[in-house]
């Protein structure tokens, strides 16, 4: 079975669930509440990650990086909130998503952002960044990771916003 056939099969099943019914309008408050929570999650995620990335790129050099890292649980909470609400949106009408190239591009950007975070932590760059004091420049690798992170998350937001307008699935 091809990967797309698996996605189609999963989508057919998902469309028959109570979650799909609720998201499609079975409970009229589910979609707007999910939209609101999705925006809050994105604000938390991009707010924290963006602040950290901009600091690593040299903005606000008067701030030490370690205290900014203490905000990361809020960014992770934002990502989890977006994951949950994104699954609710997908469940509402999986076929409008799986046949939309913009959706797959957004998923790719999210995966690449996750890989970027993985490289940042697994290579030890995060420990080197934590040691940066106020006024210090982040290592070159961290600056590259920060620039890539900003571009990917901006791309995720753009593609998410363009889902209803590009790809012809909505």
Instruction: Quick: pLDDT tens for 68-94.
Output: 989 999 999 999 999 999 999 999 999
Give CA–CA dist 24/163, Å, rounded. 17
Q: What is the pLDDT of residue 170?
A: 66
Alpha carbon 76 to chain centroid, angstroms: 10
Q: How far apart are CA 35 and CA 155, in angstroms?
A: 19
Per-residue pLDDT at 1 exceeds 80 = yes
| 62 is a domain residue | yes
Based on the structure, what is the number of domains in the chain?
Answer: 1
SS3 (DSSP) at 63: coil
Task: Provide the residue range defining the domain that includes 146.
Answer: 3-162
168 falls within a domain: no
* Model pTM above 0.85: yes
Which residues make Cβ contacts (< 8 Å) with residue 132, sequence separation at least 6? 64, 65, 66, 138
pLDDT of residue 44: 98
For residue 167, being part of any structural domain is answered with no
pLDDT in tens, 111-147: 999 999 999 999 999 999 988 888 899 999 999 999 9
The pLDDT mean for the chain works out to: 94
Q: Tell me, yes or no, whether 148 lies in a domain.
A: yes
């Amino acid at each position: 079975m091809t990967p797309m056939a698996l996605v189609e099969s999963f989508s057919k099943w998902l469309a028959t669930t109570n979650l799909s019914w609720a998201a499609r309008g079975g409970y009229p408050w589910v979609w707007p509440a999910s939209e609101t929570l999705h925006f809050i999650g994105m604000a938390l995620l991009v707010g924290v990650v963006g602040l950290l990335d901009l600091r690593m790129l040299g903005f606000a050099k008067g701030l030490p990086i370690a205290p900014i890292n203490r905000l990361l649980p809020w960014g992770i909470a934002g990502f989890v909130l977006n994951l949950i609400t994104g699954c609710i949106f997908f469940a509402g009408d999986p076929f409008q998503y799986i046949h939309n190239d913009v959706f797959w591009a957004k998923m790719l950007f999210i995966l690449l952002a996750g890989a970027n975070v993985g490289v940042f932590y697994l290579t030890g760059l995060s420990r080197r960044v934590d040691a940066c004091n106020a006024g210090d420049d982040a290592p070159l690798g961290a600056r590259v990771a920060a620039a890539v992170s900003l571009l990917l998350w901006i791309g995720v937001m753009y593609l998410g916003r363009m889902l209803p307008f590009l790809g012809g699935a909505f």
